[in-house]
């Protein structure tokens, strides 16, 4: 593997060709918040929380570090004003969707997002896809999937498969950043009067 | 009735699927073919598609719920589509839609009990100059007036 050197937050950081910005940064102990990223899964790039600013002024832009390939000489800012502002907005949006989720509440506090400007439209699921991808990529069970599109998009257990596969597995529950997955599962189970 | 056809439906589905074994990248095409033939996608059909094409059921559901062309409930023989796009709106499409709903006795998104008509709305058909526009099956009825609605719908059987 070829070595590459990036400038992250003013420090020279080395990584390997083929890594993403997130991987290089984390390897050097630089903290970038993520919600939809999981080491064992293909990066997905949907929560946008991991965004960083790349390039040198005045030509900079925001990219999602979990899917953006690191390249030799790349200049990265993980905590620039623009990054912080955008991340704050994202956290506000996420909070409106999942007001009770601990990870999101903690991040919101860290970033000083306190006032709730947005009306809460809680769906509890933030569509990070961790459950769907874990089930498909790691367990190869495909017991859970997305249905619908746009604002109607949601996660659904596939009944034909989930009734068999899910009760003994449940490995995706702890991955869910909001906990809604397990709640829904329990709800369905209790409606079916099953233990 | 629809449920009485289920055996015949399964036959038709199997017939269509015969040419596509393992062709996972042709999912949408297969779904379209079955939708066209049966006017809906019954659950047994989705499971068969998943098995034959070797596509996880979750992906089949995802595709089916993503595109408006697919339906998980039986559709009527004719789809009536009323355009509620901007140009048609200013030319009175809300009242056209009301009239169609009254005439058919169903709301947009529903199907008449005799499975003759399904009613849908669309946000522009690309022929604004003809507005207000209503499509029945594949026939475009443009420059519609309220009292034409019943006559047009009655002419289909
Ligand atoms: S249920 Fe949880 S893990 Fe699954 S997509 Fe929603 S938030 Fe993510
Ligand atoms: S962690 Fe990168 S977009 Fe979610
Ligand atoms: S708005 Fe109706 S056809 Fe364009």
Give the CATH number, domain containing residue A14. Answer: 3.10.20.740
Report strand pairing: A75-77 vs A144-147. unpaired
CA atoms within 13 A on the CB side of B10: 8
Q: What is the DSSP letter of B117?
A: E
User: What does the mean pLDDT of chain B come to?
Assistant: 92
Is A35 contained in some domain? yes
pLDDT of residue A35: 96
Q: Which residues pair with B82 in a beta bridge?
A: B121, B134
Which residue of chain B has the CA closest to A144? B58
State which of A79, A105, A140 marks the end of a domain: A79
Given a contact cutoff of 8 angstroms between Cβ atoms, the answer to whether A8 and A22 are in contact is no
Q: Which residues pair with A8 in a beta bridge?
A: A11, A76
Is A143 contained in some domain? yes
Task: Identify whether residues A75 and A134 lie together within a single domain.
Answer: no
Give the domain range for residue B102.
78-154
Option in B47, B56, B65 nearest A147 (CB): B65
Residues of B with CB under 8 A from a CB of A: 47, 56-59, 61-62, 65-66
Q: Which residues on chain B are in Cβ contact (under 8 Å) with A160?
A: 47, 57
The helix (run of H) or strand (run of E) holding residue B119 is strand B117-122
User: Over the stretch B79-90, which tens digit does the pLDDT of each residue have?
Assistant: 999 999 999 999
State which of B38, B66, B94 marks the end of a domain: B66
Is B88 contained in some domain? yes
Look up the ipTM and state it.
0.83
Give the domain range for residue A24.
3-79
Preceding peptide of B95 cis, ω within 30°: no
In terms of Cα–Cα distance, which of B23, B81, B32, B75 is closest to B54? B23
Option in B47, B57, B66 nearest A149 (CB): B66
Looking at the predicted structure, is the pLDDT value of residue B9 above 90?
Answer: no
Stronger pLDDT, A1 or B136, i.e. the higher one: B136
At residue B71, the 3 state secondary structure works out as: coil
User: Over the stretch A88-102, which tens digit does the pLDDT of each residue have?
Assistant: 999 999 999 998 899
Task: Identify whether residues B93 and B40 lie together within a single domain.
Answer: no
Q: Which residues on chain B are in Cβ contact (under 8 Å) with A143?
A: 58
d(CA A124, CA A95): 9
Which residue of chain B has the CA closest to A132? B58
Given a contact cutoff of 8 angstroms between Cβ atoms, the answer to whether A52 and A65 are in contact is yes
Q: Which residues on chain A are in Cβ contact (under 8 Å) with B123?
A: none
Instruction: Among A26, A38, A66, say which to mutate for ligand 2: greatest number of ligand atoms within 8 Å of CB.
Output: A66
State which of A59, A79, A99 marks the end of a domain: A79
How many domains are there within chain B? 2
Task: Identify whether residues B28 and B91 lie together within a single domain.
Answer: no
How many domains are there within chain A? 2
pLDDT of residue A189: 82
Is B112 contained in some domain? yes
In terms of Cα–Cα distance, which of A104, A82, A101, A103 is closest to A92? A104
Is A120 contained in some domain? no
| Token reading at B28 | 């949408």
Is A21 contained in some domain? yes
Is B71 contained in some domain? no
d(CA A50, CA A37): 9
Q: What is the pTM of this model?
A: 0.85
Looking at the predicted structure, is the pLDDT value of residue B102 above 90?
Answer: yes
Could you give the C-alpha distances from B3 to B32, B79, B88, in angstroms and in order? 21, 20, 38
Is B48 contained in some domain? yes
Stronger pLDDT, B111 or A114, i.e. the higher one: B111
Return the ligand number nearest the Cα of B86: 3
Q: Which residues on chain A are in Cβ contact (under 8 Å) with B47?
A: 160
Task: Identify whether residues B101 and B57 lie together within a single domain.
Answer: no
d(CA A70, CA A15): 8
Return the ligand number nearest the Cα of A103: 1
Instruction: Among A130, A145, A173, say which to mutate for ligand 1: greatest number of ligand atoms within 8 Å of CB.
Output: A130
Could you give the C-alpha distances from B43 to A193, B2, B16, B72, in angstroms and in order? 24, 13, 16, 8
d(CA B59, CA A136): 10
Is A148 contained in some domain? yes
Which residue of chain B has the CA closest to A143? B58
The helix (run of H) or strand (run of E) holding residue B148 is helix B148-154
Looking at the predicted structure, is the pLDDT value of residue B118 above 60?
Answer: yes
pLDDT tier, B2 (very low <50, low <70, confident <90, very high otherwise): very low
Tell me the CA–centroid distance for residue A102 and ligand 1, in Å. Answer: 14
| Token reading at A51 | 């965004």
pLDDT of residue A15: 95
Given a contact cutoff of 8 angstroms between Cβ atoms, the answer to whether B45 and B79 are in contact is no
Instruction: Among B82, B91, B92, B133, say which to mutate for ligand 3: greatest number of ligand atoms within 8 Å of CB.
Output: B133
pLDDT per position in chain A (195 positions), as tens?
789 999 999 999 999 999 999 999 999 999 999 999 999 999 999 999 999 999 998 999 999 999 999 999 999 999 999 999 999 999 999 999 998 899 999 999 999 997 778 888 888 999 999 999 999 999 999 999 999 999 899 999 998 899 899 999 999 999 999 999 999 988 888 887 655
Is B72 contained in some domain? no
User: Over the stretch B28-81, which tens digit does the pLDDT of each residue have?
Assistant: 999 999 999 999 999 989 999 999 999 999 999 999 999 988 999 999 999 999
First CA to last CA distance, chain A: 51
d(CA A129, CA A107): 19
State which of A79, A96, A119 marks the end of a domain: A79
Task: Identify whether residues B33 and B94 lie together within a single domain.
Answer: no
Is B118 contained in some domain? yes
Is B128 contained in some domain? yes
pLDDT of residue A57: 86
d(CA B17, CA B21): 7
CATH number at residue B107: 3.40.30.10
Q: Which residues on chain B are in Cβ contact (under 8 Å) with A144?
A: 58
pLDDT of residue B5: 63
Task: Identify whether residues B97 and B57 lie together within a single domain.
Answer: no
DSSP for chain A, written as a single string: --EEEEEETTEEEEEETT-BHHHHHHHTT-----SS--TTS-----S-TTEEEEEETTEEEEEETTTSBP-TT-EEESS-HHHHHHHHHHHHHHHHH-TT-HHHHHHHHHTT--S--SPP---S-----HHHHIIIIIS----EEEES-GGG-EEEE-HHHHHHHHHHH-TTGGG-SSSHHHHHHHHHHHHTT--
Is B90 contained in some domain? yes
Report strand pairing: B117-122 vs A144-147. unpaired
Is A106 contained in some domain? no
d(CA B93, CA A16): 60
Return the ligand number nearest the Cα of A179: 1
pLDDT tier, B1 (very low <50, low <70, confident <90, very high otherwise): very low
pLDDT of residue B3: 52
Is A43 contained in some domain? yes
Looking at the predicted structure, is the pLDDT value of residue B94 above 70?
Answer: yes
Report the nearest atom of ligand 1 relative to the CA of A36.
8
Task: Identify whether residues B120 and B90 lie together within a single domain.
Answer: yes
Taking only residues 123 to 182 of chain A, the set having a beta carbon closer than 8 angstroms to any beta carbon of chain B reads 132, 136, 142-149, 156, 158, 160-161
């Amino acid at each position: 593997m070829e070595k590459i050197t990036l400038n992250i937050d003013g420090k020279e950081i080395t990584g390997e060709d083929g890594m993403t910005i997130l991987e290089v940064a984390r390897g050097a102990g630089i903290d970038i918040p993520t919600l939809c990223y999981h080491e064992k899964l293909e990066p997905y790039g949907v929560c946008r929380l991991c965004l960083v600013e790349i390039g040198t002024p005045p030509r900079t832009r925001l990219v999602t570090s979990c899917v953006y390939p690191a390249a030799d000489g790349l200049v990265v800012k993980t905590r620039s004003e623009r990054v912080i502002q955008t991340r704050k907005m994202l956290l506000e949006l996420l909070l409106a969707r999942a007001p009770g989720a601990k990870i999101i509440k903690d991040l919101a506090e860290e970033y000083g997002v306190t006032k709730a400007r947005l009306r809460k439209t809680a769906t509890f699921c933030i569509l990070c896809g961790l459950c769907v991808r874990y089930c498909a990529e790691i367990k190869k069970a495909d017991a859970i999937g997305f249905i619908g599109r746009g604002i109607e998009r949601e996660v659904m257990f596939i009944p034909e498969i989930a009734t068999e596969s899910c009760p003994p597995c449940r490995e995706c529950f702890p991955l869910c950043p909001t906990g809604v997955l397990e709640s829904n599962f329990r709800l369905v189970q209790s409606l079916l009067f099953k233990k | 009735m629809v449920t009485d056809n289920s055996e015949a439906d399964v036959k038709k589905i199997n017939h269509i699927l015969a040419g596509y074994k393992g062709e996972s990248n042709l999912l949408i095409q297969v779904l379209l073919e079955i939708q066209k033939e049966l006017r809906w996608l019954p659950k047994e059909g989705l499971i068969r598609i998943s098995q034959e094409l070797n596509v996880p059921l979750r992906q089949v559901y995802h595709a089916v719920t993503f595109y408006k062309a697919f339906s998980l409930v039986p559709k009527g023989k004719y789809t009536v589509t009323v355009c509620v796009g901007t140009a048609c709106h200013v030319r009175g499409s809300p009242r056209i839609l009301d009239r169609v709903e009254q005439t058919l006795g169903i709301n947009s998104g529903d199907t008449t009990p005799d499975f003759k008509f399904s009613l849908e709305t669309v946000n522009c058909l690309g022929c604004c100059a003809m507005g207000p526009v209503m499509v029945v099956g594949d026939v475009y009825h443009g420059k519609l007036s309220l009292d034409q609605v019943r006559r047009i719908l009655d002419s289909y059987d």
